[in-house]
Amino acid sequence: DLSGLDIRAEIERLRKERNAVILAHYYQKPELQDLADFVGDSLELSRKAAETDADVIAFCGVKFMADTAKILSPEKIVVLPDLDAGCSLEDSCPPEQFKAFREAHPDHIALTYINCSTEVKALSDVIVTSSSAETILQKIPADQKIIFGPDRHLGGYLSRKFNREMLLWPGVCIVHEAFSETELLKLKAQNPGAPIAAHPECPPTIVDHADYVGSTSGILNYAKDMPGDTLIVATEPHIIHQMELALPGKTFIGAPGADGNCNCNICPYMALNTLEKLYLALRDLEPRVEIEEDLRLAAKKSLDKMLEMAS
């Protein structure tokens, strides 16, 4: 029973006692973002995890992000407040099927979105995040054939933008898939002149209306330079918390789903992490992320390639 406990003070105490760093993704609840040592997009969080000298990484994000932290920092204890915090993209790409797909196309390299399992990373050549994908793709010779997985919308967006054919794995993010073009156009008409910023995990019906397309950090930076006072945000709405902190005078509206509001675009996996579960994770150093060493080394190759090519 945690009632009567000052959870925030306990997290503070344990953070010091354990020499822990708390990393949070922009899609986490505001209370978790607010007490994190660092809030960022997938690429920034991977870099932080690789560089930290803390003994414990408490990862407020989803499983593939905590796995990435463990792959890059194996000597650290990595805890995830809720181990069930998965990702629909990871679920869409079972390693056995991905392996068979690769084997059917031996002349292709696998350029793979970080939103996948460690096993799929181990079967890939280069990992990308949404903020590094464009830079990395441009460094791959034009005649090199590419498999892109698991997000067909990010893959399709890159393919159209760079006029580059790629074989796409048919995965989608259930959160970004839920935006409604009709409702978005209604919202745009109600807010004349307001730009739209969209994550590339959105389908083309949304991305085609966007004034800016990019990762969570990219969208946040765009908000800081945007024309006007109102922005329509087509990604998981918890990122709006950082926008409101940085730009208190401006208005941010989450893009709607078919019901006309943005609640259906809350990531159900990210939402599993809570302040109470973070406290328990720091107290018990459980649940921990563990990865078998051969698998870790195989997955590290494609992640290292990303860190090298992204800069």
Residue 42 region, left (φ>0) first, then alpha (ψ -120 to 50), else beta?
alpha
- Which of 92, 131, 180, 302 touches ligand 13P (CB under 6 A)? 131
Cα angle for residues 93, 95, 97 (degrees, 5° grid)? 75
Residue 128 phi/psi, 5-degree rounding, is -130, 160
In the bound complex, what is the minimum distance in angstroms from residue 14's beta carbon to ligand 13P?
Answer: 26
**195 in a known ligand binding site:** no
Binding segment for ligand 13P (CB under 6 A), chosen from 124-132, 152-160, 276-284, 303-311, is 124-132
Describe the chain by its helix, strand, coil percentages, rounded to 5.
Answer: 45, 15, 35
Per-residue binding letters, 159-188, with ligand 13P (x by CB under 6 A): --------------x---------------
Cα–Cα separations (whole angstroms), residue 47 to 73, 281, 310: 10, 22, 11
- 216 binding partner (options ligand 13P, ligand SF4, none; Cβ < 5 to 8 Å by kind): ligand 13P
Residue pair 24/60 in contact (Cβ under 8 Å)? The answer is yes
In the bound complex, what is the minimum distance in angstroms from residue 300's beta carbon to ligand SF4?
Answer: 22
Q: Considering the rule CB under 6 A, would residue 269 count as an interface residue with ligand SF4?
A: yes
272 DSSP assignment: G
Binding segment for ligand SF4 (CB under 6 A), chosen from 155-163, 170-178, 179-187, 210-218, is 170-178
Residue pair 218/199 in contact (Cβ under 8 Å)? The answer is no
Cα–Cα separations (whole angstroms), residue 289 to 37, 69, 231: 20, 9, 37
- Which of 11, 36, 41, 58 touches ligand 13P (CB under 6 A)? 41
**209 in a known ligand binding site:** no
Q: Which residue ranges make up the annotated binding site for [4Fe-4S] cluster?
A: 87, 173, 267
Instruction: Give the footprint of ligand 13P on this chain (CB under 6 A).
Output: 41-42, 115, 129-131, 173, 199, 201, 215-216
The residues of the shown chain that bind ligand SF4, judged by CB under 6 A, are: 27, 62, 87-89, 115, 173-175, 201, 236, 267, 269-270
